[in-house]
Amino acid sequence: MQDNYRHKGKRQQLVKTVKKKGITDKAVLDAIGKIPRHLFMDSSFEDHAYQDKAFPIAADQTISQPYTVAFQTEKLEIEKGDKVLEIGTGSGYQTAVLCELGAKVYSIERQRELYRKTKMFLNKIGYRPKHLSFGDGYKGMPDYAPFDKIIVTAGAPFVPKDLLGQLKVGGRMVIPVGDDVQTMTLFIRKSPTEFDKTEFGQFRFVPLLGDKN
Ligand code: SAM
């Protein structure tokens, strides 16, 4: 598990790229500059790990594009100690970004193979999310709710009610909503019954899998 000056150099280029695309949050940029993304993917992709692209991981899933990770994280406005629910642990890269920002991360993964692999890997490289679970992200984590922030990292065909219900008043949830192409959507909970909704640009994610797929 090497992280050498070549990787570090490429990471700084990646930081410049996402900055050019509009990311301004220094803590988010610092996290991207620090996390060895090449270790979160298959070694055959090592040479490409610092391109601003999504890549395949196990179980037909993907590690998200760094710009997308940065965009969603920036919209969450993470503060140290925030309790954050992530839906779709995947490679663990987004989890690591949230940990770098000082969040207490609770993450759910629907593919058992990825859940097992990523749990071991994050531990091995020193990231300590509060809780990783194998299960259905549509349901959130009622046992650990409410959360300050919620991030959904797969394309949701609709906004799961359970997730909105697990957000604290004042909390923020960022979720890509749509089928083939998704609209990045931010919800801010204003009161127990009111949410502000803001839509951003279009993104393309693997689907948030339901009961039947
Ligand atoms: N955050 C991940 C990362 O940084 O690598 C993104 C991984 S990928 C874009 C989305 C992940 O969501 C996949 O690992 C997929 O298995 C997972 N997923 C899909 N449907 C899910 C569901 N219903 N509950 C939990 N995870 C789900």
> Measured in angstroms, how far is the CA atom of residue 110 from the centroid of ligand 1?
7
Give the ligand 1 atom nearest the CA of 154.
Answer: 10
What's the topology of domain 61-203? Rossmann fold (3.40.50)
The structure tokens listed for 22 are: 């509009």
Q: Which three-class secondary structure state does DSSP give residue 103?
A: coil
Cα–chain-centroid distance for residue 22?
A: 18
Q: CA angle, 195 as apex, 201 and 24 as ends, to 5°?
A: 40
Domain ranges of the chain: 61-203
What are the pLDDT tens digits along the chain (213 aa)? 688 999 999 999 999 999 999 999 999 999 999 999 999 999 898 889 999 999 999 888 999 999 999 999 999 999 999 999 999 999 999 999 999 999 999 999 999 999 999 999 999 999 999 999 999 999 999 999 999 999 999 999 999 999 999 999 999 999 999 999 999 999 999 999 999 999 999 999 999 998 765
Q: What is the ipTM metric for this complex?
A: 0.99
The structure tokens listed for 161 are: 């009610």
> Measured in angstroms, how far is the CA atom of residue 141 from the centroid of ligand 1?
15
Catalytic residues: 64
Q: Which three-class secondary structure state does DSSP give residue 150?
A: strand
User: Is any ligand 1 atom within 6 A of the Cβ of residue 39?
Assistant: no
